[in-house]
Homo-oligomer: A and B are copies of this chain.
Amino acid sequence: MSYSSKLIEQAVEALATLPGIGRKTALRLALHLVKQPPEHTEAFAQALLQMRREIRECSVCHNISDTEVCSICADGRRDRSIICVVEGIRDVMAIEETGQYRGLYHVLGGLISPIEGVGPADLQIETLVQRVGQGEVKEVLLALSPTIEGDTTQHYIARQLADKGVRLTTIARGVSFGGELEYADELTLGRSIVGRLPLQTRFGEGGD
């Protein structure tokens, strides 16, 4: 594209470094900013700069945080006896979104992957073991992806925590709500049969 403007070109280059933003979209975004009052771009850039300059890792759970200890770890109303172990910060957001979990988190920052050269020492596993060793924790919920890397990491962590006297759990796998059986993949459907649950009826016939 011929921009006839070095300034536009530089802005397009910058915007096109964002994931999923090609040069055509980047141009559209740049021209949008040009059409808005200058204060808009100032506020826009300031929000991004402030985020990048001030964001840090929570010293307890390694989630992203605005402060030394994140708002979840600092929240006195959260259940401190359970830690949910996740791969990354987006998993924390997804689980928080459900509103079903009131415990704490531990963000590993990745999964063990010999192929990509990621070993246990590259992840926040040692710090998890230390947290658990402090005695307050009674349950560790492993919420990792059902991949080779996820399973490897899960096994490694389970071994590390074997003698700590905590209950180890993992999130339930099965056919999604609203999902039709015929469209579920074989592995998920198979696991949902192996891990079948007693039917909960209103008459109290089942139970867990």
Contacts and interface: CB of A to CB of B under 8 A. Distances in A.
A54 B7 contact: yes
A97 to B, nearest CB: 6
Interface residues of A, number: 57
A70 B44 CA distance: 27
A63 B4 CA distance: 9
A32 B72 CA distance: 22
B18 A38 contact: no
State the copy count for this chain. Answer: 2
Interface stretch (A85-93, A150-158, A171-179): A85-93
B52 A38 contact: yes
A152 to B, nearest CB: 23
Contacts of A1: 93, 97
B18 A32 contact: yes
B93 A2 contact: yes
A33 interface: yes
21 contacts: A2-B97, A3-B93, A4-B63, A4-B70, A4-B72, A5-B66, A7-B66, A11-B51, A13-B47, A14-B43, A17-B44, A19-B29, A27-B93, A34-B51, A34-B52, A38-B53, A41-B49, A41-B51, A42-B49, A42-B52, A45-B48
